[in-house]
Amino acid sequence: MCYVTHGSGRTKAAVGVVVRMTTDTAPTADTTLDELLEIDPATAGLLFREARTVNVFADEPVPDEKIQAAYDLVRWGPTAMNTVPLRLLVVREPAARARLVEHMADGNKTKTLSAPLTIVAAADPSFHEHLPVLAPHMKGARERFAAGSEEMRVGMARTSALIQVGYLIIGLRAAGLHVGPMTGFDADGVDSEFFDENGWRSLVVLNVGMPASEGASHPRQARLRFDEVSLTV
């Protein structure tokens, strides 16, 4: 083992791996592990290392085409049985935004009011209605899901849709946008407000746009290393 220094302490790292750390323990440059990646450092920075959760946005409109481009990319990400249960409520109109803000946690109200665009990411428990197109090889799948329990469909939709939310955040970054994801809201209230007819279940609210010139993000925080989060058996 060797040691790399960050701040006032030292961190063990595998020999041959160069890890550059800032004083707040956040990696800001490439490591030799990047040689194993199939994307270039600039792309890695855009999607992950340099990307930040944004709380304060600039007063710049977000074109519909950028949202559509992001989704057109991430819709190809895998989901269980190709169910693709993620649904998006794109909130633009002030009246609709005010209705949404009523259900946001206090700490998320102001940032949601001021964001140029907000997306409510939801799961569709009726995903099975699309299976004849999405999974034509699974004969009778729509009918089997329809005959099954709603609880099972809701759980399955939620799991895959949450995976798709992760894809969506990266896709929005790939489109040059910045994102502020939030789970601090009354999901039942949002569902009643917006999804009473279609039965979607809200999961995450994402503010989207360009960062303000000042105070857009909190200081970068540390991330756990691979050896801190993994077990090999």
From first to last of its 233 residues, the chain has per-residue pLDDT tens of 333 333 333 334 333 334 444 434 555 555 688 889 999 999 999 999 999 999 999 999 999 999 999 999 999 999 999 999 999 999 999 999 999 999 999 999 999 999 999 999 999 999 999 999 999 999 999 999 999 999 999 999 999 999 999 999 999 999 999 999 999 999 999 999 999 999 999 999 999 999 999 999 999 999 999 999 999 99
Q: Is residue 151 part of a domain?
A: yes
The pLDDT, as a whole number, for residue 32 is 80
The pLDDT, as a whole number, for residue 19 is 40
The pLDDT, as a whole number, for residue 55 is 96
> E strands within the chain?
2-6, 9-13, 86-91, 117-123, 178-182, 201-209
Collapsing DSSP to helix, strand or coil, 93 comes out as: coil
Indicate whether 73 and 157 sit together in one domain: yes
Q: Is residue 56 part of a domain?
A: no
The pLDDT, as a whole number, for residue 49 is 94
Q: Is residue 7 part of a domain?
A: yes
Q: Is residue 226 part of a domain?
A: no
Indicate whether 13 and 111 sit together in one domain: no
Range of the domain at 88: 64-209
Indicate whether 42 and 90 sit together in one domain: no
Q: How many domains, in total, are found in the chain? A: 2
What's the pTM value of the predicted model, to 2 decimals? 0.86
Q: Please report, for the domain that includes residue 71, its CATH number.
A: 3.40.109.10
**Do the Cβ atoms of 115 and 102 come closer than 8 Å?**
no
Indicate whether 84 and 46 sit together in one domain: no
